[in-house]
Amino acid sequence: MKHFNKIKNCLLAALAVVGTSMALQSCEDDAPEYPYSSELHSFGPSPASRGETIKFIGEGLGKVNKIIFPVGVEVTDFVSKSDTEIVCPVPQEAVPGKIRLVMGGKEIETRSIITFSEPISIESVTAAKPELTAGDEIVVTGEYLYNVATVTFGNNAEVATEDFTKQERHELRLKVPAAAKTGKITFSDGADWTYTTEEEFTVRTAEVTGISRTDLKEGESVTLTGDNLQLVKAVYFPGDIEAEDYTVALDGKSLTTTVPVGTCSGVITLELHSLDRISSPEFTVPTIEIMSVTPDRDLVAGQQITVKGKLLDLVSAIEFPGCAVAYEGWSVNADGSELTANIPAEMVDGKINFIQNSNITVSSESVTMQKNGSEFWKGNFALGGWEANLEVSADVDADMYAAFTQAITSPGKLIIHFEQDTSQGWWQLQPRYRRDWGITFTGVRDNGNSGIIETEAGQNTITLNISQEDIDELNGAGWAFSGCYMTITAMEYEDPNASKTFFNCNFALGGWEANLEVSPDLDADTYNAFAQAITTPGKLTIHISQDATQGWWQLQPRYRRDWGITFTDVRDNGNSGIIETEAGQSVITLNISQEDIDELNGAGWAFSGCYMTITAMEYE
């Protein structure tokens, strides 16, 4: 319930008014500055008595020619008037509220309200219906009801004197306000008297029962059906987008609005004057779908990728991991099922975000960039001035966490690549455990600087010795890298105990009857294993088992682009690139050149031969 300001700085003065002595309770108004010289300081008494007099004290009051009591009751005959004081009778029709002093076309309004001394009593509070709706009339009977200043419903929904539909001594009528909820009704004279009903009055609220259609597009009209929708104060679409306008039918049974730009699938939320919120049935907005990104591994800057999906013509922007949002630079086919784009130079490992509007973004599965040597993760994480933390944890970034846990399985060396913020003069890194951020990695725990690593100008890598304790923490709550003024760009791991085997199989070559083909169009998983392991020239070790029932065993490694071309290491061996093996031989080692790698990344490789089974591949 809204409470009116209580009378301030009350003064009692013995005044002779019309030959009688009376007490005056003065109400200081603290009136603001007006654009003319008249000011009102106080008035009283209040509570007042109808038919008696009331006094106004101020400056420049001689200009007042009319005093208007609430509600609209005018007095122009004053008992006395001077520049500092006006005395006038209190009209019988006056009710509680603020008084206005009129001088020409200007007014002064009291800040406090006038109240009356007659004791209010309420006999009945009735309504025409057992369940009320905003706008229904309440009828109150009793004594001195013209002294009631406010009526408050459930939810503190208040109706003041000026909004009563009728106010007389024995009867008061008013309408249920839009913000009202079920509850008791409280009456007040604006001062010390209140009365609250014992009975709770049920107030019906709005409800939504239907929607004109459940597939919506931006800019089109949609109609909600229901009951008491005239109680709606605002309409919100998903993304907390407020509808610019809406119309409600006269019977309150339907509401029509326009789908705003930027909305997404969900429900329409209606906020009522009571501040309650109700929702429509669910609807959908046509939304882009991402089915695949090809290729999605070992990507390089400038390489073209093909994205397959639905409604790709609705893509308005693309955010490649580690890059700024791009608003152009891709193409989409006629039916929106295929999008092609080139990999930006700054791209790192992560998911590609396809943005439809401000509230619809669809992400691809994680894609990875081509790695060098023992590199297992590429990123672009700025630490700021100890403001951000690169957290390696399944609950923060599952894909990054998987890259770390797959690469780091036994003690070794972690090489952290970073770029310094050259606008600063100092750069620090602190590797910590997420289980307890006060614990640093074992390799820096006792460095006398709380595990903080200081780096020099121009430095771009940090190497950490990783212990089994560190690995246990990685496999538990995870790791965190804190620091300042550097951006972490990549991670490498050197594990002296790690197996170099990248491919296990059991492929029988027969008598030149079968070929182990390494190609993305035949077996993407096998191809990815080779392409991820073999990125720079090195040694390929092929493990074999011989068919002991035969007396000769051969292998010929070839290019699928032209099966007549063998690997560079055996091309000139005088045997058409065929490798003869001896009885009991279990491995074949090939020197892999950049030309071989280029062919692998093109049409792929093929291994032909006879009477042996290829069981595994290693690369170093």
**Per-residue pLDDT band at 620 (split at 50, 70, 90):** confident
**pLDDT value for 3:** 34
Q: What is the 3-state secondary structure (H, E, C) of 332-371?
A: ECCCCCEEEEECCCCCCCECCEEEEECCEEEECCCECECC
* Spatial distance between the Cα atoms of 275 and 169, rounded to a whole number of angstroms: 34
| Cβ within 8 Å of residue 15, ≥6 positions away | 21, 22, 24, 55
**pLDDT value for 344:** 93
Burial class, 217, CB count within 10 angstroms (exposed 0-12 / middle 13-18 / buried 19+): exposed
Q: Across residues 505-511, what is the average pLDDT? A: 91
User: So what's the architecture of 207-279 in CATH?
Assistant: Sandwich (2.60)
- Are 148 and 120 a contacting pair, CB within 8 Å? yes
Which residue would you say has higher pLDDT here, 32 or 132?
132
- Cα separation values, 234 from 207, 278, 620, Å: 14, 11, 66
| Cβ within 8 Å of residue 513, ≥6 positions away | none
| Backbone phi, psi, residue 106, to 5° | -120, 155
Is residue 571's pLDDT more than 90?
A: yes
Is residue 6's pLDDT more than 90?
A: no
**Buried/exposed code over 234-252 (b: 16+ C-beta within 10 A; e: otherwise):** ebbbbeebebeebebeeeb
* Spatial distance between the Cα atoms of 167 and 433, rounded to a whole number of angstroms: 73
Is residue 30's pLDDT more than 60?
A: no
Domain layout of the chain by residue ranges: 12-109, 121-203, 207-279, 289-363, 375-494, 501-619
Of the candidates 385, 449, 386, 373, the one whose C-alpha atom is nearest the C-alpha of residue 417 is 373
Q: Using CA atoms of 486, 492, 496, 497 in order, give the dihedral in degrees to the nearest 10.
A: 110
* Spatial distance between the Cα atoms of 514 and 609, rounded to a whole number of angstroms: 8
Superfamily of domain 121-203 in CATH is Immunoglobulins (2.60.40.10)
Tokens of 321: 């991991």
User: Tokens 């073999």 appear where?
Assistant: 534
* Spatial distance between the Cα atoms of 344 and 326, rounded to a whole number of angstroms: 10
Tokens of 555: 């292998």
**pLDDT value for 27:** 46
Phi-psi region of 170 (alpha: psi -120 to 50; beta: other; left: phi over 0): alpha
Q: What is the 3-state secondary structure (H, E, C) of 381-446?
A: EECCECCCCEEECCCCCHHHHHHHHHHCCCCEEEEEEEEECCCCCCEEEEEEECCCCCCECCCCCC
**Buried/exposed code over 151-164 (b: 16+ C-beta within 10 A; e: otherwise):** bbbbbebbbbbeeb
**pLDDT value for 49:** 85
Preceding omega of 45 cis (within 30 degrees of 0): yes
**Per-residue pLDDT band at 530 (split at 50, 70, 90):** very high
**pLDDT value for 499:** 66
User: Do 12-109 and 375-494 fold alike per CATH?
Assistant: no
| CATH of the domain spanning 501-619, picked from 2.60.40, 2.60.120, 3.30.70, 1.10.287 | 2.60.120
Tokens of 385: 């001035």
Is residue 475's pLDDT more than 60?
A: yes
- Are 438 and 389 a contacting pair, CB within 8 Å? no
Query: Helices then strands (H, E): number in the chain?
Result: 4, 52
- Count the neighbouring beta carbons within 10 Å of the beta carbon of residue 181: 18
Superfamily of domain 289-363 in CATH is Immunoglobulins (2.60.40.10)
Picking from 19-33, 90-104, 462-476, 499-513, which range would have the lowest pLDDT averaged per residue?
Answer: 19-33
Of the candidates 281, 285, 130, 100, the one whose C-alpha atom is nearest the C-alpha of residue 199 is 130
Picking from 119-133, 415-429, 590-604, which range would have the lowest pLDDT averaged per residue?
Answer: 119-133
Preceding omega of 47 cis (within 30 degrees of 0): yes
Is residue 18's pLDDT more than 60?
A: no
**Per-residue pLDDT band at 36 (split at 50, 70, 90):** very low
Q: Across residues 268-280, what is the average pLDDT? A: 91
**Buried/exposed code over 23-55 (b: 16+ C-beta within 10 A; e: otherwise):** ebbbbbbebeeeeeebbbbbbbbbbbebeebbb
Domain 12-109 sits in CATH at 2.60.40.10
- Are 408 and 431 a contacting pair, CB within 8 Å? no
Report the amino acid identity of residue 184: K
Average pLDDT value over all residues in the chain: 89
* Spatial distance between the Cα atoms of 427 and 565, rounded to a whole number of angstroms: 52
Is residue 306's pLDDT more than 90?
A: yes
| Cβ within 8 Å of residue 478, ≥6 positions away | 391, 392, 393, 394, 396, 401, 433, 434
Domain 375-494 sits in CATH at 2.60.120
- In eight-state DSSP terms, residue 587 is E
- Are 145 and 157 a contacting pair, CB within 8 Å? no
**pLDDT value for 129:** 86
Percent of the chain with pLDDT over 70: 93
- Are 499 and 406 a contacting pair, CB within 8 Å? no
Question: Is 568 in a helix, a strand, or coil?
Answer: coil
- Write the DSSP string, 481-548: EEEESEEEEEEEEE-TTS--EEEEEEEE-TBTT--EEE-TTT-HHHHHHHHHH-SSSEEEEEEEEE-T
**pLDDT value for 318:** 96
User: Tokens 């490694």 appear where?
Assistant: 557
Q: Across residues 578-589, what is the average pLDDT? A: 93
User: Tokens 């109680």 appear where?
Assistant: 231
For the stretch 200-249, pLDDT in tens is 999 988 999 999 999 999 999 999 999 999 999 999 999 889 999 999 99
**pLDDT value for 490:** 93
**pLDDT value for 373:** 66
Report angle CA 613, 616, 620 to the nearest 5 degrees. Answer: 140
**pLDDT value for 415:** 95
**pLDDT value for 37:** 59
Report the amino acid identity of residue 38: S
> Sign of dihedral through CA atoms 122, 124, 130, 133?
negative
Is residue 19's pLDDT more than 80?
A: no
Q: Across residues 30-44, what is the average pLDDT? A: 64
Report which secondary-structure segment, H or E, holds 468. Answer: helix 468-474
For the stretch 393-445, pLDDT in tens is 999 999 999 999 988 999 999 999 999 999 999 999 999 999 999 999 999 99
Is residue 20's pLDDT more than 60?
A: no
Is residue 555's pLDDT more than 60?
A: yes
- Are 529 and 502 a contacting pair, CB within 8 Å? yes
